[in-house]
Amino acid sequence: MASAAMHDHAQDHGHAHAAAGDRRRLGIALALIVAFMAVEVVVGVLAHSLALLSDAGHMLTDAGALGFALVASALAARPATGPYTFGLRRTEILSGQLNGATLLVVSALILYGAVRRLISPPDVDAAAVLAVAGAGVAVNLAASRVLAGGKRRTLNVEGAFQHVLTDLYAFGGTALAAIVILATGFDRADPIASLAVVALMVRAAWALLQASGRVFMEAAPAGVDPAAIGQALASAPDVVEVHDLHVWEVTSGFPALSAHVRVTRDSDCHAARRRLERLLRERFDIEHTTLQMEHEEPLLLQIEEP
């Protein structure tokens, strides 16, 4: 029991250290985005540019997504109290789902604007667009590199990363479109580039919504086969039957398992449980397990009356 407690303490310490690193990266990325947004507002007001002010509004949604991700990470780090026996760890999954939904909404707005501009392309100040897009690429590249340094262990960080990454693609596409407009005068290059970015945004949003939906529906973690786990448990020494097997994910990187295990009548059920827990830990990387051990029912001997 002492070694198990030490292992849990070490694991919690590792998670806390990783979460602190994630919050630091989210804070840096948020500062970069807010600073760039402030510059866009100032330049937009001075230059009377509605395009720059509109883009600043788009950046505000990214800042909001990063801010919510930062809050979610802080809430998830709180210890379990009262009715929240797992703490608020699943707040990070909620953040990932919200970021996915936000990406869908933003992509729909960009799609609407792109279609309108394809039908009736406005005059574009390509030089100003190229300058802003170049600065946007630099800022979002720096922010995405910061977030990627956290290895995106949670859906929370992954959602924030996808927001910044799609902005990076958007500014890159805008810069390319501006170059095409400067070289050829083809104004429809801007909405065409926007349509390509919309496709990338929808793809990222779907991946986030699908992954967060799996957690909320308590499906088995991606890459984990419950049938294979059940077969491995049932094949262990002294095990007769495994039933009521459930495998789910509390939050990113926190798989959990529960099962009823029936063992032979004469076996040591506690020793069998320890062997199964070790098997789940070493073979399937599942630490949080609840195994209810049951002995096989004794055979009933029918005594024939003389």
pLDDT-derived band at 260, boundaries 50, 70, 90:
very high
- Per-residue confidence (pLDDT) for residue 47, from 0 to 100: 57
**Could you tell me which of 66, 255, 31 has the C-alpha nearest to residue 157?**
66
Question: Hey, what domains does the chain have and what are their CATH numbers?
Answer: 12-216 (1.20.1510.10), 226-295 (3.30.70.1350)
pLDDT at 89: 87
Tokens 């250290």 appear where?
Answer: 17
Both tokens of 179, joined, read 């170059």
DSSP state of 298: P
CA atoms of 222 and 39, how far apart (whole Å): 41
pTM above 0.85? no
- How does DSSP assign 160-186, residue by residue? HHHHHHHHHHHHHHHHHHHHHHHHH--
| 8-17, 28-37, 120-129, 264-273: the lowest-pLDDT one | 8-17
Contacts of 74 (CB under 8 A, 6+ apart): 23
pLDDT digits (tens, 9 = 90+) for 97-156: 998 898 898 888 888 888 888 888 877 778 877 888 888 899 999 998 888 876 556 888
Residue 25 φ/ψ, nearest 5 degrees: -65, -40
pLDDT tens per residue, range 208-221: 999 999 999 999 99
End-to-end Cα distance, the chain:
54
What are residue 249's phi and psi, to 5 degrees?
A: -125, 120
Q: What is the pLDDT of residues 237-259, one digit of tens each?
A: 999 999 999 999 998 889 999 99
Average pLDDT over residues 33-40: 87
Token pair recorded at residue 90: 């699943």
Whole-angstrom Cα distance, residue 258 to residue 248?
9
Question: Token pair of 133, please?
Answer: 């897009």
